Structure 1
Amino acid sequence: MHFTKKLLISTMATAMLAGCTVPGSHLSVDDKTVVSTGDEQELSQQINVYPLTASKVNQFKSPRVYSQTNAALDAEIARYQYRIGPGDILNITIWDHPELTIPAGSYRSSTEAGNWVHADGSIFYPYIGSVKVGGKTVTEVRKEIAERLAAYIESPQVDVNVASFRSQKTYVTGEINKPGQQPITNVPLTLLDAINSAGGLAADADWRNVTLTRQGNEEILSLYALMQRGDLTQNRLLRPGDIVHVPRNDNQKVFVMGEVNDPKLLKIDRAGMSLTEALSNVGGINQLSADATGVFVIRSNNNSEQNSAKADIYQLDIQDASALVIGTEFELQPYDIVYVTAAPITRWNRVVSQLIPTISGFNELTEGVLRVRNWP
């Protein structure tokens, strides 16, 4: 037996020293430079845990969206007037004076025979010469032309309208069916109108985080609230140069891990996703290995200025399956991690399952040494 112990110790030492011969890859930081900021703090001290109970779950719900009118938008539309710009084509009619109305001939369209607004915002008109129309409404242009023609025509009856709107545009980009530019005309163009004119949202659109960029300032709007819930406060009257961008829903995802039947990444659909829905999409928890008291949602606070903690953890106890009703009230957010922890007996069994091969190997090695020693 003394010989056996020596042989066993020698074999173990040789295996430890010959670590490079052990199959499989390994990464060690022992021989590398570990960079420290000097103010490291235990992660456990930077995490808050909130139990999800029937009485507290409402505290963590997102504010509910209600249908409501937009009085400010209604007032803005009511006083809206189109202002002429370079590139527009004006149709100017002088009643009882057809030679001034369409100088090029009556067989041409208003767009072809109209008055093109030059880059300096002016047009040329017979008798009165150059007329500054850029930045003015058709009413203002009509009044000016009538006043100046009065020196040549008695009581001129003047009508002015825009035959072609070319100077002002807004842009709709991203996950919509027909992205591109849309003209600003004498008909007010709202965000909802622009999305509908662009063919509606594509299948991969993130309609909760639509951006409206105006003069370098970005505003995030929710088409979900506008189109699904009727919240008209999310609608906007578009102006020249506005950029409406509908992003992809690539970042609308959550991770479901741990003791579930089919751990995987899930995408949040347009209607959102609750904790119970996420568990259902992965086949529920593993009834044989999961700890039903440990259904966790881990949410990072990296972008939060109000919360100093690195992360918040929300814990749901579903030992009583009726607690899944609480999970339906808890809305998941992008990049949430749903983690179902293992039961204590499961963790113990895994430790034992790792020890058994080693113990069996020692036993086989010991039996082999004894057989060698007892060999006649």
Structure 2
Amino acid sequence: MATAVAALGACGLPRTGPTKSEINAGSVQRQGDAFVVRVNDRVTRATAVVPALGFDKAFQDGGLVGSDTIRAGDTLSISIWENVEDGILTSAGAPAVLDQVQVDGSGFIFIPYAGRVKASGNSPEAIRRIITRKLAEQTPDPQVTVRRTAGDGATVSITGSVGGQGVYPIERPTRTLNAMLARAGGVSIEPEIAKVKVIRGAKSGEIWFNDLFRHPEMNIALRGGDRILVEADTRSFTALGATGAQNRVGFASQTLSAVEAIAQVGGLSAASADPTGVFVLRNEVSEIANSVLGRNDLIGPQRMVYVLNMTEANGLFLSRDFVIRDGDTVYVTEAPYTQWSKVLSALTGTLSTAGSISALNQSLSSK
């Protein structure tokens, strides 16, 4: 019997991956190429690195754009009344309406009998005074109104996971990032995993959507030409071994612990998992690796295997505090009895098959 068990074990029975002892055998301490580290409170603190997103000082210090400041690309609606029956632009008291007058690339507009008028950098009121002064030289007491309408020079484009993608004007109610997102229908994905990226010329900044509410200083003022992209978090980890599912899994929240990662894939397999053998495999940057191992001589990324024992009194707390990062592999080993059960099943199946063949041979011989 013992010989049969040994023979079956040597044949390599099916399993989900390496055993706990095989992983430990690959440690640097045993001439392997990975550091196997037992997780404790110090390790959880040293490895608790969450990607920091936010806008730099240049984005944060930008003041609100005056809703009355005209820029190249804006369009204006101009109405002119003249205090005479037959004016140079009007007749019988009806105003001359110049609609959709666009500010050219040099910042000017053209008004008949007033010529080229500098609009960029001025408010509608300042432009009104300039036009009034120029027309007054040719017609008595002209009355002018200037109104800014949406134009190419005061718009932002919004794409990605929002209620309504498109080009939106920067107006008084939509001069900040959060207000503009609201105008676009808000985010259409889970807010917890939504990221907002703002591209301004050659510069860009990115922030978690929820941080716009947690940190009001990140609700930056917008500028004409800004491009806003809303997308889901692209981070993921891989779950292998004795878990409810073996798959590549996206993060369901901004921060993800080992316990939450295991829960996302259905938890530990009740039939086969070894809760003392939960491993997190990661290529760790040298700064964190040195801190974890209490040394300062490591250079470049290091292969690290973090070990969690969820049966210890503090095990679940450590698993709750240990942060999973992008690209991690979470591997749960099988319990020792699982492999033994496979051996017994294979052995009893083999003996049963052998008995059946023997009975068949005897039956055939008797005929």
User: Shorter-chain TM-score category?
Assistant: 0.5 to 0.7
* Counterpart residue type for residue 293 of structure 1: T
| Closer, same or farther: CA 158–295 of 1 in aligned 2, 3 Å | farther
Q: CA deviation at 1:122?
A: 3.5
CA contact (8 A) 2:60 2:218 kept: no
1:319 aligns with 2:306: no
Quote the residue 1:18 is aligned against: none
Quote the residue 1:232 is aligned against: 216
1:83 aligns with 2:70: yes
CA contact (8 A) 2:81 2:93 kept: no
Quote the residue 1:163 is aligned against: 148
1:339 aligns with 2:331: yes
Describe the superposition over 1:53-98 as per-residue Cα deviations: whole angstroms up to 9, x where unpaired.
133312222369899xx89746622778633333501436689799
Alignment of 1:1-16 (within 5 A): none
Alignment of 1:246-265 (within 5 A): 246-249=230-233, 251-261=234-244
Describe the superposition over 1:204-241 as per-residue Cα deviations: whole angstroms up to 9, x where unpaired.
567443222222444322212223xx113433222222
Quote the Cα distance in structure 2 between the aligned partners of 1:100 and 1:297: 83
* Counterpart residue type for residue 47 of structure 2: F
1:284 aligns with 2:271: no
* Counterpart residue type for residue 222 of structure 1: W
Alignment of 1:76-225 (within 5 A): 76-77=63-64, 82-86=69-73, 88-91=75-78, 103=90, 113-114=98-99, 116-117=101-102, 119=104, 121-134=107-120, 136-138=122-124, 141-142=127-128, 144-145=130-131, 148-149=134-135, 151=137, 161-168=146-153, 169-185=155-171, 189-203=175-189, 207-225=193-211
* Counterpart residue type for residue 178 of structure 2: L
Q: 3-state SS of the aligned residue for 1:76? A: coil
Q: CA deviation at 1:275?
A: 1.9
Identify the structure with bigger relative contact order (alpha carbons < 8 Å, sequence gap 6+). 2
Indicate which of 51, 66, 89 corresponds to 2:38. Answer: 51
Which stretch shows the higher mean deviation, 174-183 or 345-354?
345-354
Describe the superposition over 1:160-211 as per-residue Cα deviations: whole angstroms up to 9, x where unpaired.
6433122232111111111111112466622111111111111356744322
Quote the Cα distance in structure 1 between the aligned partners of 2:52 and 2:203: 25
Q: CA deviation at 1:274?
A: 2.4
Quote the Cα distance in structure 2 between the aligned partners of 1:187 and 1:174: 22
Quote the Cα distance in structure 2 between the aligned partners of 1:49 and 1:98: 94
**Structure 2 gap ranges (5+):** 1-30, 290-298
Quote the Cα distance in structure 2 between the aligned partners of 1:259 and 1:157: 84
* Counterpart residue type for residue 166 of structure 2: G
Q: 3-state SS of the aligned residue for 2:63? A: helix
CA contact (8 A) 1:173 1:244 kept: yes
Which stretch shows the higher mean deviation, 317-326 or 329-338?
329-338
Q: CA RMSD in A?
A: 4.7
Quote the Cα distance in structure 2 between the aligned partners of 1:104 and 1:50: 89
Q: 3-state SS of the aligned residue for 1:123? A: strand
CA contact (8 A) 2:237 2:250 kept: yes
Aligned length: 324
* Counterpart residue type for residue 179 of structure 2: D
| Closer, same or farther: CA 213–78 of 1 in aligned 2, 3 Å | closer
Quote the Cα distance in structure 2 between the aligned partners of 1:206 and 1:106: 60
State the identity %: 22
| Closer, same or farther: CA 61–148 of 1 in aligned 2, 3 Å | same
Describe the superposition over 1:330-369 as per-residue Cα deviations: whole angstroms up to 9, x where unpaired.
3333443322111234334435544555566567668888
TM-score, structure 1 normalization: 0.65
CA contact (8 A) 1:66 1:231 kept: no
Q: CA deviation at 1:255?
A: 3.7
Quote the residue 2:277 is aligned against: 294
Which stretch shows the higher mean deviation, 125-134 or 44-53?
44-53
CA contact (8 A) 2:50 2:255 kept: no
1:269 aligns with 2:256: no
Q: CA deviation at 1:244?
A: 0.8
Quote the Cα distance in structure 1 between the aligned partners of 2:335 and 2:266: 18
Quote the Cα distance in structure 1 between the aligned partners of 2:312 and 2:88: 83
1:61 aligns with 2:45: no
CA contact (8 A) 2:177 2:222 kept: yes
Describe the superposition over 1:301-346 as per-residue Cα deviations: whole angstroms up to 9, x where unpaired.
69x9998336543321111254212222233334433221112343
TM-score, structure 2 normalization: 0.67
1:243 aligns with 2:191: no
Q: 3-state SS of the aligned residue for 2:42? A: coil
| Closer, same or farther: CA 218–64 of 1 in aligned 2, 3 Å | closer
